Structure 1
């Protein structure tokens, strides 16, 4: 880890150190804020769940007591007489039994604030008896209430926007005529008003829902919140009581609910989150505002560090990189009076000294290269000169012919090019033409003993300025060390090829000069930077090309595809010379 940190630049190190110092403080503040928020939210959650549980128990106790009274009422003797023994009762006995039942029904009605009407339907006399009414049974209502329900788990019957608790007696299969049906109609307005009282101190609402039968009693809220709550319960119908946060119609709600196994209903209390958690959210907003302010302070400090330390240091590093790349035309004027003033001043002094030293070395190298070129120009091979003069002597004995004319012309051009001292650089076309003159002279000398294939120079490179005598020494090397000793089948090839923004001039001969160890030795000499090496021939050409065009260019010695000795000159596509 330490090694990785050491590789990071100074400015990121400062920022990381600053963050390491502040992060624990920020983390502690964040934990405290989250802990406080969680505690408050837990209290709110427990409060809502407690209220829902209390109100749900209140409803369960209220309706359980009502159901118990209904079961007791179903055992009255007068009710049994009217439903099974009316044929043995006189008119006055029937009237007395009915009045007695009405009194009991009145007691049942007054036993709870939620009861709107208490009635009993007796098919034997085709009458419906209530505390203040005595009339014929309504068949549709009787059929709706003659339903066998689990009175201890789901006692309610919702019919025509009315809510009932029904008790057929005795309990038979649905739709079979019982002796009588006791029913209590729950007052929906009274129940709704009671539910509103549960949340009278808050901005929320309460409703009683039966998801199985699809009815609900409560305030007229949008259907969206009911669907959201239903989806929560349907996702895990084993949840008896819980608190959830749901979104409905673009609003977030806290919903507390509890399912009643006694009534088969779910009591739901919901409030808008922004109402309940408003103060808590305000504290959170303040916390993040302070965090944002802290972040701004960090940015200001970081920017100050950047301006005072990192920017001058970065500029100095960039300057050193430019010096590494060979650019010495840089200087800085630092206006400050701190430690960077001294560094910038010493850097400018160092660059000036380097420029002076490079200038002196370049002038020295140029004088050395110039002297080497003059030396090479003055080294006219005596062997070649004597042979050429002997040929000229033999031709002179004969009659005047085209061979003598051409040979004399080639020889004249050759010596004129070799002895011209006006410029160290010539166009590549002139250099190639000089090499062709040399080859033509050698053709006459060897009388078609050596086959020569000389390619055409691409026109785009004809005007390229190159050092003098870079092709002809390679041809001379091929004749001297290879082709002169070969009696038959000798071949010399000069080819031009464009490759990767460069021009390649390949000189290849089959003179048998292909020993791999010798080729490796020549390669090492070309790559060596020792100024004390021999500076004639291939090495001289290679060094002059690198001096003028750079280390990417120069000579390369290889073994050709057919196993022949091959020397390749690499020249740039363009030059500013």
Structure 2
């Protein structure tokens, strides 16, 4: 892979940048933490201040409502009220009128005791009259008398919402004969006064306050037209009012609000105050600007450091590494031109000197080594086993003497064998030719040992047929199996040759069931195959191992182990390369 495409984490430049980021990021993170801490502190203080303000108002309102309830309950025991409810039929007109007048004066006194009271009324069912602090004597509104009653189970202040109004109602429980209430005292609260009181919380433009009834979800707001206010409806829907108090952030039509609420259990109400986000953020506006300035400064520092590191370290290093890559690929004419006096200038000069010296030595060392290897391969290819030659000639003589009909095919096989061995025109041949030569050799051996030998010879995958391989790499392995594994067996000798492929790797496996290979001998053979020293004597199987490695690389070659049949197992491993297709030629 080109050095320019190297992953950052594997390059010096990337590691320097990452190290710098590891240092600068915690500093930046600390600054962001301080900013968030300051922002959170301001929000908490605003929230606490607003909650305290709202809670203080609710506490005052609770005390005021409680005082009204006390006056209301006291009025139930009013002497004139009881006379009108119980003795009205036996009272004179004067007594009735005087009792009504005195009762109204008391109701006016209650009304004037609080700015929150709009009207106080006494509903007297036996005389079918309502005495009001505002309008005096009226006919009793029976429907209203029945409807304005405290719901069962409602505790606390017992504020009732009825036809857009807020009421405090208490009644005389029972008369002496029946279960219907005799009379009730009703206090009508003034919503305008509530709105005026809520207006004191509107310290910011766009802010507002809402008093919400938990019982019937009735709303009192500093805005009269609350029913048509989309923002207020959405604020109420989005906040969590299950807690006694709290602060939440809501977004309505892309406009943010901080909402503070406090609950009054006694009033069964929630007081909610909402503030536009921009007013909450205003105290920290300058601090926010400095955070952005700091962030931009950090980015500029990172860019300057990265650019400097790239220019003065990464770029010269890339040039040096690219030159080394060219040398690795065989280009010995590369030279680095530079005018640098830094440490890289020294490295460039030493690199150019190294390439120059390498060019001077290449003819003396490399070319000489190649010639020696080719001479070695020629010598190895020309080896013929004299013992096999003598036995084959005696076999021909015997066949001729007894008139054996196999004399003709045997002599033909033997001719093909020696023609292949003695042919020196090509260093490399297709793999299928090498396999066919090995089959000729096994046919000769089968004729020699027909009664005590069996050969299982598999088929090579067709896509590997034309791979160019050194001559005489398979037949000597099979010959070794005959000589050292099968030749001394009197019967049931087996030699198995088969092929296994895996991606770009072909394994040619030769096994026998001979018993001549000891564990010590097998261990010595393994060590010899693993020995890569130049002064090792190259004979037998070691020849093939060296030749395969020279052609196909160090990962190819021979491996030996104990066969499952009891004899020796030799694996000839060939690793090919060249993309998605099998390599057809190997140039050496």
TM-score range, shorter chain: 0.7 to 0.9
Contact 1:37 1:280 in 2 (8 A): no
1:548 aligns with 2:551: yes
Match of residue 47 from structure 1: 49
Residue 279 (structure 1) aligned to one of 279, 282, 285: 282
- Tell me the alpha carbon deviations over residues 258-310 of structure 1, each in whole angstroms, 9 at most, x when there is no partner: 44455x24351412341431414634642442243134214313431234323
1:469 aligns with 2:477: no
1:102 aligns with 2:104: yes
Match of residue 166 from structure 1: 169
Contact 2:201 2:273 in 1 (8 A): no
**Equivalent-residue separation in structure 2 for 1:398 and 1:257 (angstroms):** 121
Match of residue 342 from structure 1: 346
**Equivalent residue of 2:100, what SS?**
helix
Residue 246 (structure 2) aligned to one of 243, 247, 251: 243
- Tell me the alpha carbon deviations over residues 502-549 of structure 1, each in whole angstroms, 9 at most, x when there is no partner: 444445555543222222222322322233333333222332222222
- Tell me the alpha carbon deviations over residues 464-520 of structure 1, each in whole angstroms, 9 at most, x when there is no partner: 43323334444554555555555x427463624142244444455555432222222
Q: Please state how far the C-alpha of 1:245 moved relative to its aligned partner.
A: 1.1
1:292 aligns with 2:283: no
**Equivalent-residue separation in structure 2 for 1:181 and 1:482 (angstroms):** 123
Deviates more, 1:523-532 or 1:460-469: 460-469
**Equivalent-residue separation in structure 1 for 2:180 and 2:406 (angstroms):** 144
Contact 2:259 2:273 in 1 (8 A): yes
Question: Alpha carbons of 1:547 and 1:377: their partners in 2 closer, same or farther (altered >3 Å)?
Answer: closer
**Equivalent residue of 2:215, what SS?**
coil
Please list, as runs of the form range in 1=range in 2, the aligned pairs for 1:38-437 lying within 5 A after superposition: 38-71=40-73, 73-74=75-76, 76-87=78-89, 89-131=91-133, 132-145=135-148, 153-169=156-172, 176-178=179-181, 180-199=183-202, 202-218=205-221, 219=223, 220=226, 221=229, 222-229=232-239, 232-234=240-242, 236=243, 239=244, 242-247=245-250, 249-250=252-253, 251-260=255-264, 264-266=267-269, 268-280=271-283, 282-283=285-286, 285-304=288-307, 305-313=309-317, 316=320, 327-329=329-331, 331=334, 333=336, 335=338, 337=340, 338-350=342-354, 353=357, 360-376=364-380, 380=384, 383=387, 385=389, 409-410=412-413, 412-435=415-438
Please list, as runs of the form range in 1=range in 2, the aligned pairs for 1:486-525 lying within 5 A after superposition: 486=489, 488-489=490-491, 491=493, 493=495, 495-500=497-502, 501-509=504-512, 512-525=515-528
**Equivalent residue of 2:260, what SS?**
strand
- Tell me the alpha carbon deviations over residues 126-165 of structure 1, each in whole angstroms, 9 at most, x when there is no partner: 3222344323322122223465999993143322222222
Question: Alpha carbons of 1:479 and 1:146: their partners in 2 closer, same or farther (altered >3 Å)?
Answer: closer
Contact 1:492 1:507 in 2 (8 A): no
Match of residue 580 from structure 2: none
Contact 1:328 1:351 in 2 (8 A): no
Q: Please state how far the C-alpha of 1:70 moved relative to its aligned partner.
A: 4.2
**What RMSD in Å do the two structures reach over aligned CA positions?**
4.2
Q: Please state how far the C-alpha of 1:211 moved relative to its aligned partner.
A: 0.5
Contact 2:47 2:247 in 1 (8 A): no
Question: Alpha carbons of 1:540 and 1:355: their partners in 2 closer, same or farther (altered >3 Å)?
Answer: farther
TM-score, normalization by structure 2: 0.78
**Equivalent residue of 1:277, what SS?**
helix
Contact 2:123 2:130 in 1 (8 A): yes
Contact 1:148 1:172 in 2 (8 A): no
Contact 1:496 1:503 in 2 (8 A): no
Query: Structure 2 unaligned runs (5+)?
Result: 1-8, 577-582
Match of residue 16 from structure 2: 14
What is the number of residues matched between the two proteins?
A: 557
Deviates more, 1:498-507 or 1:543-552: 498-507
Match of residue 3 from structure 2: none
**Equivalent-residue separation in structure 1 for 2:513 and 2:154 (angstroms):** 116
Contact 1:490 1:511 in 2 (8 A): no
- Tell me the alpha carbon deviations over residues 182-230 of structure 1, each in whole angstroms, 9 at most, x when there is no partner: 322223334334433543665322233321243232230443323344x
**Equivalent-residue separation in structure 1 for 2:497 and 2:408 (angstroms):** 28
